[in-house]
A and B are shown apart, each in its own frame.
Chain A
Amino acid sequence: MTMQLTDLIRIENFASLKHKLVVYNLTSYTEVLRPELFRLSYFTPTHFSIQAPQKLAFLGHTLEVYIFPDSLECRQLTREKLLAASDVLCLKVKVEALHDIGLEGFCDFVLKLEGNASNDYLKLIDLYRSHQDNLDQVMKKCK
């Protein structure tokens, strides 16, 4: 039988590397537990940036940010469940900057890690770096 096009389409080509996150504000005791409201923007070993609801926090607030794989079931999330889960990265951060992004109700937060970056956080950065390297290979091959 002649090979069809669909025999050659790899579904994993469409797979994105994704993590979800939710936040608990330790200063104002508010929590935002809807992952769809957050987007990760960039990482450095000392800071990371997220797009999040404006009401989340103000400058100087301390937050607990939970970052977890996209595959984790998100229904009826609670802080206790997140703290107990094995594949959830919990980071304590301070809000260092806020930027308006022209999207009503949302802004960019620049968050500074408290203390040194944990191994798990550095592993997360590395995961995205090596994924980026794979994308670079695709771009290079296509040139």
Chain B
Amino acid sequence: MTLDERTLVSKNYFASFKAAIFEPNSAVKMAIRSVLTELGINSRDVYSANNFSELQSIIREHAPQIVFMSDALEGNYFAQMVNCHRQVIPNRLQTLLIGFSSYNSMSTASAMAEDGMDLMMAKPFTPVQLKEKMVNWYAARMEPSLELVQLEGAGELINKGQLLEAAQALASFSASSAEGKERSCFLNGEILRLQGFNQEAKVSYERILSINPIHFFSLVHCFDLSFEQKDYAAALSYARRLLKNYPINPKRIEAFIRLAVVTHAYEDLLFYCTMVDAIKTSGEGVLRGLAAGLAVGAKHLSTLEGEMRDLKLIRQCLLQAVKIGQDYQKIMHSVASTYLDIGDLMQVEELVSKMMLGELKHDYGWRELQMSLLYRQGEYAKALMVGLNLLKDRHYPEEVFRISIKSAVRIDRNPDFIKELYQDGVRRYPTLESLLPLVRSL
């Protein structure tokens, strides 16, 4: 059958369907609408959202079976939309979620699949191809097999939160195909995971992996569960299997970098540094993850001692983290703090000056860092002033007391003032007693 013939056949099927579109590009939106009309969906049943919040409202109010969503927003919006849609339409037999992206890499496709999207359309696209994909998607669903109906039924119970009923439904399910068996095993694993029985869920996923060693979501969940449980050797093994068989999901880069650090694969950090140029066209989220990972890696390396403390590697990681993560203040704070740890005061000063130009000049974290920097630079009076202002603003971390007391001693402040500061600090933090000899010597 040609595409046109298949389209004609499916028109009755789509007649009662609704669709929602979140796509800022008007021409793309019109092309999608045109495809939907060709498929037989009434234009009155096609809803357009101007923002994510509107899309969620449309989903809740109209329950569209088909949703088109652009990656115009940075963040975890695909996963959020999928969750929202599953709550509104828990049976997924007739649903289709299509993500549109200008980043048409394999990694983007992998990320979309993991977020729960069914299909991905990369821009620029051809409307005919979109139509073809949709017709193909629904080919098996127009007259679904009994197995598919039963499995989607169990999935529906899971999406509704009726986990015990879902488990009962799966217990009486008898698979007629290998895919069916795999799917029912996976759903059992999902039930256990959602109930919080993580170890049992892992066993279930491993059972699937014994049938299909590269079952994507089983590998993903096993990786996540192992990582959460700090079983890094296992996490590493699952990560290897994922990377061997699938494109890397850019959102996992941060986790992989942390894994490199905790498994002492420090030379991997250099590789991640070299990845920067290769992945900078993959979207902001990717770079943020990479910057965060490099900052964490550098921080950890700075805590090592002796030969393990590779200053050259630390500085490379920090440099790259600054290069790509300069818009993310938490990442920059971590970078600046690590520069301070390794004594690169000029870098700290540069970052502090740059970041504290705007609103961050009131940020407690940055002010603390500024105080520490001033102290390290020998600017004790200034350090004390910053410290006292933080205390005046009711910000009482131990380090603020410590540096304020030490600065006050250095500049020969009134002994009574120092003693009062010390008493105040040690009341909150008994460990400040280590400064007692200094205070006594006044």
Contact = CB atoms under 8 A, between A and B. Distances in A.
Contacts of B108: 16, 135
Contacts of A10: 247-248
Given A4-B267, A44-B126, A135-B104, A142 B31 contact: no
Interface in A55-103: 97, 99-103
B433 to A, nearest CB: 45
Interface string B117-140: 111111111111100010000000
A129 B301 CA distance: 46
Contacts of A4: 260, 265, 267-268, 271
B106 A42 contact: no
A143 B128 contact: no
Contacts of A99: 26-27, 30
B239 interface: yes
Contact of B275 (A9, A18, A129): A9
A99 B26 CA distance: 6
A14 B125 contact: no
A30 B287 CA distance: 37
A121 interface: no
Nearest to B265: A4
Contacts of A18: 104, 281
Contact of B106 (A39, A100, A103, A138): A138
B215 to A, nearest CB: 10
Interface in A112-140: 125, 128-129, 131-132, 134-136, 138-139
B248 A9 contact: yes
Interface in B100-118: 102-110, 112-114, 117-118
B125 A5 contact: no
Nearest to B214: A141
A103 B24 contact: yes
Nearest to B102: A39
A5 B123 contact: no
A5 B27 contact: no
B141 interface: no
A41 interface: yes
B440 interface: no
B25 interface: yes
B282 A14 contact: yes
B268 A6 contact: yes
Contact of A108 (B27, B110, B126, B279): B27
Contacts of B217: 142
B124 A42 contact: yes
Interface string B261-275: 000010110011001
Contact of B105 (A15, A48, A51): A15
B371 to A, nearest CB: 38
Q: How large is the interface on A (under 10, 10 to 19, 20 to 34, 35 or more residues)?
A: 35 or more
Contact of A13 (B102, B236, B244, B248): B248
B121 A134 contact: no
B133 A136 contact: yes
B216 A142 contact: yes
Interface string A29-50: 0000000000111111000110
A128 B126 contact: yes
A104 B109 CA distance: 30
B110 A138 contact: yes
A138 B101 CA distance: 15
Contacts of B380: none
A78 B240 CA distance: 48
A110 B63 CA distance: 31
B127 A3 contact: no
B28 interface: yes
B24 A41 contact: no
A134 to B, nearest CB: 7
B251 to A, nearest CB: 13
Contact of A135 (B26, B106, B250, B275): B106
Contacts of A103: 24
Contact of A142 (B113, B122, B279, B286): B113
B422 interface: no
Nearest to B30: A99
Contacts of B259: 5
B278 interface: yes
Interface string B3-29: 000000000000000000000111110
30 contacts: A4-B260, A5-B240, A6-B271, A10-B247, A11-B278, A14-B281, A15-B105, A18-B104, A39-B102, A42-B124, A42-B126, A43-B125, A43-B126, A51-B25, A97-B27, A101-B24, A101-B26, A107-B26, A125-B126, A128-B126, A129-B126, A131-B122, A135-B122, A138-B110, A139-B109, A139-B117, A141-B245, A141-B246, A142-B113, A143-B216
Interface of B: 24-28, 30-31, 50, 102-110, 112-114, 117-129, 133, 216-217, 236, 239-240, 243-248, 250, 256, 259-260, 265, 267-268, 271-272, 275, 278-279, 281-282, 286
8 closest A-B pairs by CB? A99-B26, A142-B113, A8-B243, A49-B27, A6-B271, A108-B27, A40-B124, A13-B247
